[in-house]
Amino acid sequence: MRILVLSNFYPPEFIGGYELGCSRVVSILQQRGHICHVLTSKFGEATSTNEITRNLFFGMHGRAPQRFGRIRTALKDQLDRSTVRKAIRRCSPNVVYVWNPMFLSPGVFDEIKRTGIPVCFFISDEWPGRWMTDEHAGWSRLRASLCFSPASFVARTASVLLRTSTSLEELQFQHCHLASEYLLRKLCSGGIQLNDAWVTHWGVDRERYLCERLWDLPAKRFLYAGQLSEHKGVHTGLEAFAIVAKANPHLNLTLTLAGAADNKDYDRGLSAIAAKHGVGDRIRRLGRVSELELAETYKSHDSLLFTSIWEEPFSIALVEGMTSGMAVLSTLTGGTGELVRNNINALVFPPGDLAECVRQFERLTSDAELCRRLSIEAVNSTSCLTLTQLVDSIESHFAKLVNKRTVA
C-alpha cells in the first residue's frame, strides 16, 4: 500500500511519546513493504526529505491578536490545501493516516475528502473535541476567518490561483483508531461522532525493554519519564521522594528526571522543592532523551513514577516501564486503569495526594518482596502490548478500507 501520514509533529520534532510512536509505526510499515510519505508542519528546524514533507503551517491556535490575523489564517489555509494536493499527486496514496492535526488548518481535509481516498484517524488524546469546538483552534477559527469579508476575498483569490477549494464542510470522523476505551467514552459523551471506531492499546518492542531484575533489595533508584509539567504532577512525586529521602538518608535513594520543562517557572519550582528538603544532590536531570537512551534508563532504575493529574488517555511511558519490570507508583487518571491495578502490578495514589504518595513510596523503599511481585505482574500485564500487534491492527484496517474502495 501507499500511505500518506499526516501529523502536526514528526521526529526529530516532538513533544511527547506519541510523536515518537508515529515514527516507529511508519518505520515498521515501511519494513513490511508499504510506501509511506509523511506530511507534517514547518515546526522546528528539521527540513524536508524524500519521505517527509515539512511544509504545513503550524499555529492555527490562539496567541496574541495579530494585525490582519483573519486574512493570514485564510491565506495559510489555502497554501496548506495546495501543499496537500501536491503531496497526494506525489505519492498517490491508497489511504491517508491522520495522526494528530491539532494546530493545523482543517482545510487540508477538504482537499483530501475531494479525492475520495479513504482516511483513517489515530486518536491518542482529546484533540477532536478541542479542534472542532475551541474558537482559537482549527475548525472554529478558520470558519470565523472565512466569514470575514476581506479574508474570504483573499481565500477565494488564492483558491483560483492555487486551484484549491474555499469550502469547509463538516468533518466526519470515519475509521477511528483510539488509544484507550476511556478516550472512546470521553469523546462520544462529548458529542463527537466517531464512526467505525476501535481501540488498540499502544505496544512496544518488548525485546528492547525486557531485563532481568533480582530484587535482593527494595527500590532505591526512582525514575520519572515525561514532560516536566504541572498537569503531569511531577511536583507531587518529587516532594514525596524528597520527604522519604530526607527521613531515610541511610537508604541512599535517588530520583532521575528524564524530560524537559516548557514552563521555566514550574521548572524552578521543582528545584525549589528539592532545595527545601535538602535533597538536591539526590536528584539527577537528564533532559530530553532518545528512545534508545530511555530504554537503557528504565533498566538502570528500580521504580517508575507516573504522577499525572490530568486524565491521561493511555501512557506509553507506563507500558515501557512496566515491560522493563519496574515497580510502578501511579495515579489512575483517564485510561491508566485499563493497565494499572493497585497492589497487583503497581501501587496507586490519588492525583495530587502527597500524604498517600509518601506512604506508597515508603512501601517501595522497605519491601523487596513487594517490589518483586509488582515487577513480575507488570511484565505479565504488558505481554500482549507489542508494536507487532499494534501495527497488525493498523495494517488490517488499512487493507479493509483499500479493498472496500477497490470493490466499490
More confident residue, 407 or 84: 84
Q: What percent of the chain has pLDDT over 70?
A: 96
pLDDT, residue 155, reads 87
Residue 320 pLDDT class (50, 70, 90 cuts) = very high
For the chain, the domains span: 2-203+387-407, 206-381
Q: What is the CATH T-level fold of the domain 2-203+387-407, as seen in this structure?
A: Rossmann fold (3.40.50)
The predicted pLDDT at position 60 comes to 55
Q: Is-same-fold flag (2-203+387-407; 206-381)?
A: yes
Question: Which helix (H) or strand (E) is 31 found in, with range?
Answer: helix 17-31
Q: Is residue 156 predicted with pLDDT exceeding 60?
A: yes
Helix residue ranges per DSSP H, 365-386: 368-381
Q: What is the mean pLDDT of residues 181-192?
A: 92
Cell numbers of 406, please? Answer: 477497490
Average pLDDT score over the chain: 91
3-state SS assignment for residue 347: strand
pLDDT in tens, 45-87: 889 999 999 999 877 555 544 556 788 888 888 999 999 999 9
d(CA 349, CA 254): 20
Which SS3 state, helix, strand or coil, does residue 149 take?
Answer: helix
CATH superfamily of the 206-381 domain = Glycogen Phosphorylase B; (3.40.50.2000)
